Amino acid sequence: MTKPQTGLIGLGTMGAALALNIAEKGFPIAVWNRTTSVTHAFKADAGDLAVRITPTDSLADLVAAMAPPRAIILMVPAGPAVDDMLAALAPLLDKDDLVIDAGNANFHDTNRRSAASLPFRFMGIGVSGGEEGARHGPAIMAGGTAADWARMAPVFHAIAARTEDGTPCADQMGESGAGHFVKAVHNGIEYADMQMIAEVYGVMRDGLAMPAPQIAPVFAKWNQGTLKSYLVEISAAVAAATDPIGKGPLLDMIVDAAGQKGTGRWTAIEAQNLAAPIPVIEAAVMARNVSARRDERAKGQALYGPGPQTASFTLEDLEHALIAGKILCYAQGFAMMTAAAREFGWALDMPAIARVWRAGCIIRSAMLNDMATALATDPARNLMLAPFFADHLRRSLPSLRRVVSSGALNGHGLPALSGGLAWFDLMRTARGTANMIQGQRDFFGLHGFKRLDGLDAPHGPWART
């Protein structure tokens, strides 16, 4: 067998699945894992694909087993493990060899590693779709140079998910940390999509007194229309499931405290750094943190009385509220990426990002086709100003208003949907209220202000001379 040019380090959940995917697409691959027994078990369990897999027992063996120029994918936990691996590989690799960090790195780390004088080439890629995606077709958001992307594109295009028209969901997002940045925003949007679905589930359960088996077909029906997406589809399946070890719907037995690995929080923090408003994503991160406070929430309910009351909106309102919330959330996410492109000097290709998200990743949805089209016309324009989405919003905003206002009146916490609506109302108000803030700032700090008529502005009459 010819020596492989592709290698992979870290045969955990994602690495093993990715290595099998690569082998399946016809690329021989050399693998190494910190725990050697895992490496050999991986080859032994690889079935027909084992013929393309070269297991190795040390990093030196891995490098020796490969033909230059080598491309080695790292699939180890983000953070120090990646730096340790880069340091360990440094004395072993040539300058044309390429190391690809495919874990969930913080993009600042990827920027730092890209700028470091490593004795080999380096790129960071975001991989979405979980284990199933890694095995059968993830969405791949690559950072790094165009030359390194061109070199790896045949492999990444081969293993990536494909849209219905056969387009691979793998592309270069921009230089250095751009791929990991886009992956972080993807994860933030994932938090927001999930939170908004959870919010409409909550009002069906508590406001409309619908049991889970009645909620499931509602999500299934929505999945036939504008909201067609992986997350709405699996929400129908989750609501439909019966408890395998108890009685009744499984959903009613699941503890209402959401886990998180922190990538949504990274997105929220970065949005603050960029002064890019993403209130739907921020609300989703906040809501996960509140969900973890079960004891305090129980005390709150005991003190303030019964939970949510009957709400007055229809299922159609809920569907349209979710459509509006989703558009607003993506409008914020893409605007944040525009701000990041400016800040970090990346040529982020907005339509390409929407296209890469169309399959393989958790936020895949039919609406991303329309977003790619709208962004192709004017990548820098906020999506809420694109005519196609403006039409959608005009139709769905009355429902969002009914759901949010009825939710507030009846005690349903709807932070993501409310955050989206508040942002929209600020964004469609030409004369805002920050003139008051500027007056206050001048009053207590003599910070000054600009006048609408353009005349020179002395401080207000409150200034002491």
Residues near ligand NDP, by CB under 6 A: 10-15, 33-35, 38, 75-78, 81, 84-85, 103-104, 127, 130-131
Minimum separation from the CB atom of position 16 to ligand NDP (A): 8
Residue 132 or residue 343: which is nearer to ligand NDP going by CB? 132
In the complex, minimum distance from the CB of residue 112 to ligand NDP, in angstroms, rounded to a whole number? 16
CB closer to ligand NDP out of 12 and 69: 12
Compute the least distance from the CB of residue 274 to ligand NDP, in Å. 23
Q: Does 183 participate in catalysis according to the annotation?
A: yes
Minimum distance, C-beta of residue 386 to ligand NDP, in the bound complex (Å): 30
CB of 214 to ligand NDP, least distance (A): 31
Q: What is the 3-state secondary structure (H, E, C) of the chain?
A: CCCCCEEEECCCHHHHHHHHHHHHCCCCEEEECCCHHHHHHHHHCCHHHHHHEEECCCHHHHHHHCCCCCEEEECCCCCHHHHHHHHHHCCCCCCCCEEEECCCCCHHHHHHHHHCCCCCEEEEEEEECHHHHHHHCCEEEECCCHHHHHHHHHHHHHHCCECCCCCECEEECCCCCHHHHHHHHHHHHHHHHHHHHHHHHHHHHHHCCCCHHHHHHHHHHHCCCCCCEHHHHHHHHHHHCECCCCCCEHHHHCCCCCCCCCHHHHHHHHHHHHCCCCHHHHHHHHHHHHHCCHHHHHHHHHHHCCCCCCCCCCHHHHHHHHHHHHHHHHHHHHHHHHHHHHHHCCCCCHHHHHHHCCCCCCCCECHHHHHHHHHHHCCCCCHHHCHHHHHHHHHHHHHHHHHHHHHHHHCCCCHHHHHHHHHHHHHCCCCCCHHHHHHHHHHHHCCCCCCCCCCCCCCCCCCCC
Annotated catalytic residue: which of 3, 25, 132, 190?
Answer: 190
Of 59 and 311, CB closest to ligand NDP? 59
Specify the residue, 84 or 252, whose C-beta has the smaller distance to ligand NDP: 84
Q: Which residue is nearest to ligand NDP (CB)?
A: 12
CB-nearer residue toward ligand NDP: 32 or 344: 32
The yes-or-no answer on residue 190 being catalytic is yes
CB of 212 to ligand NDP, least distance (A): 26
Q: Which of 25, 43, 183, 221 is catalytic?
A: 183
Residue (of 455, 458, 453) closest to 442 by Cα position: 458
Q: Quote the least distance from Cβ 198 to ligand NDP, whole Å.
A: 20
Nearer to ligand NDP, 104 or 176 (CB): 104
For ligand NDP, give the closer residue by CB, 124 or 207.
124
User: Which active-site residues does the annotation give?
Assistant: 183, 190
